[in-house]
Amino acid sequence: GAVVSQHPSWVICKSGTSVKIECRSLDFQATTMFWYRQFPKQSLMLMATSNEGSKATYEQGVEKDKFLINHASLTLSTLTVTSAHPEDSSFYICSACQGIEAFFGQGTRLTVV
C-alpha cells in the first residue's frame, strides 16, 4: 500500500514556541491531506483538510491562526502549532487518500512544557 511519512514522531517544546510537523506521501501524489488530533484514550478528531495550492479548510472550533497548515506540493503538507501551550499537548496524525483509501502517518506526540 501507499506510504505516508510523518515527522517528527515526538517532540517536546517550551510553552510559547512554535512546532512544525511534516506529512509526506512517499509514493503517490495527494492533492488533499487531513490533519487529526487525538487525546489520550479518545478517537481521532478532524482538525482540517489541507488542499494543495489553496487554503486549508478548518473544522469548527479549530483556530486557524494557531494551527497553520501549508500544502505547498503534491507530496507535502505541514502543520505548525504556533505559540504552543500545554493544552496543545496531544497526538497529531495526518492522512492522505489514494482513491477512497486513507493512509495514515505514524503520528506525532507533542508535549508542551
Partner 1 sequence: AQSVTQLGSHVSVSEGALVLLRCNYSSSVPPYLFWYVQYPNQGLQLLLKYTTGATLVKGINGFEAEFKKSETSFHLTKPSAHMSDAAEYFCAVIQNNNDMRFGAGTRLTVKP
Strands in 43-87 per DSSP E: 44-51, 57-58, 67-73, 76-81
For 13, phi and psi rounded to 5 degrees? Answer: -140, 160
For residues 75-94, which are near partner 1 according to CB under 8 A?
Answer: 91, 93
Q: Which residue, 48 or 81, has its beta carbon nearer to partner 1?
A: 48
Those residues with Cβ within 8 angstroms of residue 42's Cβ, 6 or more apart along the chain or in another chain: none
- Contact between 100 and partner 1 per CB under 8 A: yes
Residue 63 or 101: which CB sits closer to partner 1? 101
Q: Looking only at Cα atoms, what is the longest distance across the chain?
A: 39
Of the residues 7, 28, 66, 104, which one makes contact with partner 1 according to CB under 8 A: 104
Q: Are 56 and 64 in contact (CB under 8 A)?
A: yes
Choice from 14, 41, 87, 113 touching partner 1 (CB under 8 A): 41
| 32 near partner 1, judged by CB under 8 A | yes
Residue 96: how many CB atoms within 10 A of its CB? 27
**53 touches partner 1 by CB under 8 A:** no
Residues that bind partner 1 (CB under 8 A): 1, 4, 6, 10, 32, 34, 41-44, 46, 49, 91, 93, 95, 97, 100-107, 109
